[in-house]
Amino acid sequence: MKFNWFHKKIEENYPDFWKDYESEVIKTEKLTLQKTRFVVFDTETTGFSKKSDRVLSIGAVSLIGNTINVNDTFEIYIEQEIFKPETVKIHGILKKGDIEKVDELTALKQFLKYIKNAVLIGHHVGFDIGMINEMLQRHHLPKLKNKYLDTGKLFHKSKHLVYQNDLKQYTLDELCDELNISKSDRHTASGDAFITAMVFLKTITRLNKKNNLEVKDLLE
């Protein structure tokens, strides 16, 4: 928001796609786990600097009612403004290659249209949220409005039901081992999103033994 000399709010002239997204985001604190749409997502990046590195791809899958919706997935590859060949061995995304890529703004438009008002989930999700927010900032847009959850923190909550002093920071690979989840298609955005969705579901099962959890309980 901007203010004029009379202290009246002047609306920013944001594009329609942002206004459409913003209008979709509603409060979810009182929704039950069964009714809430969650979007589990992951980004593949050129590195770990939110300022100097860039997002190469975004993968996501949605779930409602403890069920992964395989018909409601998202995957997009972004044209590479910055290229670091040493990271290709991790994510496998070449600067050119045969994969169809879009520009960063197009990727943002499609991602916002997909997530709508969902609660976002990721493993160490703060990094992924931060990378998306940097993309938005480069295009003079506000930060994401969605609530979000970190599977690493949720797993700690479930672990503390048994091991009160467990302070270990689990990697996604370690959580897969702990929860007996296949690590196939690891280090692709869509593959990691699906694996993280499995981690989320198994962790929620541990936490929701009395079947009375609400989204607000997870956000605390």
CATH code for the domain of 129 = 3.30.420.10
Per the prediction, the chain carries an average pLDDT of: 84
Distance (Å, whole) CA 197 – CA 171 = 15
pLDDT (mean) for 142-163: 84
The answer to whether position 7 is within a domain reads no
Asked if residue 202 lies in contact with residue 192, where contact means CB atoms within 8 angstroms, the answer is no
Residue of higher predicted confidence among 126 and 84: 126
pTM of the predicted protein model: 0.84
pLDDT tens-place string over residues 61-119: 999 988 999 999 999 999 887 655 555 444 444 455 567 889 999 999 999 999 999 99
Residue 131 predicted with pLDDT over 90: yes
The answer to whether position 54 is within a domain reads yes
Which domain, by its residues, includes 201?
12-214
Contacts within 8 Å (CB) and 24+ apart, 209-216? 213/32, 213/33, 214/29, 214/30, 214/31, 214/32, 214/33, 215/28, 215/29, 215/30, 215/31, 215/32, 215/33, 215/36, 215/119, 215/147, 216/29, 216/30
The answer to whether position 6 is within a domain reads no
The answer to whether position 169 is within a domain reads yes
Distance (Å, whole) CA 79 – CA 99 = 10
Number of domains in the chain: 1
The answer to whether position 219 is within a domain reads no
The answer to whether position 31 is within a domain reads yes
Residue of higher predicted confidence among 188 and 122: 122
